[in-house]
A and B are shown apart, each in its own frame.
Chain A
Amino acid sequence: MIAQEIMQHYSVAKTAQILMMFKGGLSQNIVVDLGSLLQNRLGFDVKVRRMFGIFVELAQNVKNYSAETEIASDGSSVGIGILILADSGTHYSVNSGNLVLNSAAELLKAQCDHLMTLDKTALKAYHEERIESEPPPGSKGAGLGLIEITIKTGGNVHFDFASFDENFTFFSITATVEK
């Protein structure tokens, strides 16, 4: 029975061409370690670096904004989520998923929808505007992550939401870059 269960995990990972999957609290140390693992596995040429940049942004996004948290070994509170990196042969796909409060999901969805309406020029102008202004209230980074991911992927990013329970919504980001 155990072998059956593990084989199912294995088959899913194999079919989806998963290079790496992590579910848990994403402290900065874990992000750095996962980054080292990626570099050991794939090297660090210019295309890997572009994927790596998206990977770090998604990981730090989960760490800072997931509604589900735990206390890391260094005592800090960190967000819990899932990160999946897959290799389709021609592209890398970087996926993240985490819980957000239902009450916060609507605003987040509006922000994501807005990004999807912008072309390259408008995205760069929006990025410029945001980098010059103070981070929005509640932002723990520069408040630029989603904009940069959209720019770096050339728009090949998909934001999605699924109902989790009466309190939470599951928020996923799928970003694809050429190998």
Chain B
Amino acid sequence: MESLLINQTTQTPRIAFDAESGNGEIIGVSFPEHANDLYACVHEWIDQYFAEDASKTLHVAFNLNYFNTATNKEIRLLMKFLDKHHSEEKAVRITWFHEEGDEDMEDIGKGYSVSLNVPVSVEAV
């Protein structure tokens, strides 16, 4: 299957998921007009990735320094989606990067590491 690559813009993050390594990253800022359209393709890609081979591993790295409320909701949905795959015995893990000293972003990551079963590692960069 093909890797997923959406280049960064001034209002959207770089979204890159590698079909070979199973490493995905969402990096930058996110305040698009239609956040749901942007993140829907990530759900599709992940479903397809595990449909091909359920024994593959997936590591998703979030490294966002700003997102709007509509994106916040999309990230929540994506996290739950990853949690669902994890509950179906898929090898999924998440790293949530935040800038050193950015407590807002750190708190969001820590919230996910507590509320989800899928492993979420919160790391300062």
Which residues of A approach B to under 8 Å, CB–CB? 28, 31-32, 35-36, 44, 46, 49-50, 52-53, 56-57, 60, 131, 141-142, 144-145, 148, 152
Q: Is B95 an interface residue (CB 8 A)?
A: no
Q: Is B43 an interface residue (CB 8 A)?
A: no
Place the interface of chain B in its size category. Answer: 10 to 19
Contact residue among A49, A60, A145 (Cβ-Cβ distance under 8 Å from B66): A49
Interface residues of B in 1-31 (CB under 8 A from A): 10-11, 31
| B10-A145 in contact (CB<8A) | no
| A131-B72 in contact (CB<8A) | yes
Q: Known interface pairs A46-B99, A46-B102, A144-B73. Does A57 touch B33 (Cβ–Cβ under 8 Å)?
A: no
Which residues of B approach A to under 8 Å, CB–CB? 10-11, 31-33, 35, 65-66, 68-70, 72-73, 76, 99, 101-102, 104
Q: Known interface pairs A28-B33, A32-B10, A36-B10. Does A142 touch B72 (Cβ–Cβ under 8 Å)?
A: yes
- 22 A–B contacts from the bound complex (CB under 8 Å): A28-B32, A28-B33, A32-B10, A32-B11, A32-B31, A44-B66, A46-B102, A49-B102, A50-B104, A52-B66, A53-B66, A53-B68, A56-B68, A57-B69, A60-B31, A141-B68, A141-B70, A142-B69, A142-B70, A144-B69, A144-B72, A148-B69
CB of B59, distance to nearest CB on chain A (Å): 25
Extra A-B contacts (19), CB below 8 Å, given A46-B99, A141-B70:
A28-B33, A44-B66, A46-B101, A46-B102, A49-B65, A49-B66, A49-B102, A50-B104, A52-B66, A56-B68, A57-B69, A60-B68, A60-B70, A131-B72, A131-B73, A141-B68, A142-B73, A144-B69, A145-B69
